[in-house]
Structure 1
Amino acid sequence: MRFFACLLTLALVSTALPASAQESVRPKDPKEQAQPPRTRPRASTLDELFERLGKAQSEREAEGISSLIERRFSRSGSDTADLLLNRAAEAYGKKDFPLAIELIDRVLVLQPNWAEAWYKRATVFYQLDDPVGAMADLHRAIKIEPRHFNAWTGLGHILMASDDKVHALEAYRRVLKINPQMSDVKTIVNRLAPEVDGQDL
């Protein structure tokens, strides 16, 4: 009986104490004490991602890194511009190319130094059978971000379509300098190089 009375007294004292005091009464779990405070891992910079991309040992590894880079490319720092570009992508998916151009035009008024917006407008121009407009926008994208491997790839495709194989090969080789694991571009270079250079790789 005395034992239960002691337990009851201890329970009443614990509930009457403030939370901070109760914490001091409760025994600390040694595991909790030993764990250091959690810190979020530092996000890689764009330069670090490109360095990793250049050193990737497999196509799968490169695809994962390039996806992270593309995600960075798709953010302008302006919520309004990002929203407009997303709407342009929706219009593009519905093949409403004039609306996509109109929306990207608005984006470029807000963010004229956003390489991804120039690249996206180039892809729409290409669908509208305007390779001149597409090439102009791709050059703008590359001038802003010389490591934009998708813009270099698009430029290579347009040059190939216009039978400018010499400059197409240069563009594709620029792609592989940035992203050496792009197998489809490797295939094009391996097929095109002997014809342009006059010798096997």
Structure 2
Amino acid sequence: MDQSRIDSLLEALRDGDPQIRERATQELWHHWFCQKGTMGLQALKRSQELLSIGDVDLAEDLLCRLIEQFPDFAEALNRRAVLYYTQGKLEQAIADCERVLELVPYHFGALHGLGLCYQAQGDYGQAIQLFRRALDIQPHALINQRLILECTAQL
């Protein structure tokens, strides 16, 4: 996907029409998941299947091998960050989210995930900053608005 199309989708995330925003959101996720073609997409799907049946170790191994093969595969890093977050391995999740953002600075999912990590660590100020950055990209994301309120109440 060329940069002009990405810019167009990022602009559509700000549109007043929720259907336009949803289409743009889905297209960006599709772009991220398909960055490494069919093989990468299938590996990500397989890791999600493994997680859904509770085989966390195998899912983690698959994602680690995928990242080793494709160190610039932002969505593989993001999926591993989610896995680490759900396991309470917050430092590892933070490291993966930060790497995603180095590769794809507009990855609102990684910004949201990074905010969740800091919220879980009790660093509410940092979490608020990250949820706000996610809102800068995706201003109608109610979840980030709600999390900002929750974190503010903790300060």
TM-score by length of 1: 0.70
CA contact (8 A) 1:149 1:178 kept: yes
**Superposition pairs of residues 132-171 of structure 1, within 5 angstroms:** 132-171=91-130
Q: Counterparts of 1:8-157 in structure 2 under 5 Å?
A: 45-53=5-13, 55-157=14-116
Long gaps (5+) in structure 2: none
Indicate the larger mover: 184-193 or 90-99: 184-193
SS at match of 1:163: coil
Output the CA distance in 1 between the equivalents of 2:109 and 2:78: 8
| 2:141 pairs with 1:172 | no
Secondary structure of 1:45 counterpart: helix
User: CA offsets per residue over residues 59-91 of structure 1, 9 Å max, x none?
Assistant: 454223211111111112333222222211110
Pick the structure with more helix per residue.
2
Aligned residue pair count? 152
**Structure 1 portions without partners, runs of 5+:** 1-43, 197-201
Q: Which has the larger radius of gyration?
A: 1
* Paired residues of 1:176 and 1:186 also in contact (CA < 8 A): yes
How far 1:112 sits from its partner (Å)? 0.8
Query: What residue identity is the alignment partner of 1:90?
Result: E
Q: Secondary structure at the match of 1:90?
A: helix
Give the structure-2-normalised TM-score: 0.89
Cα deviation code 1:91-150 (max 9, x no counterpart): 011121111111111211221111111000011112222111111111111111011101
The answer to whether the 8 A contact 1:141-1:151 is kept is yes
- C-alpha root-mean-square deviation of aligned residues, in Å? 1.8
What letter corresponds to residue 133 of structure 1 in structure 2?
Answer: Q
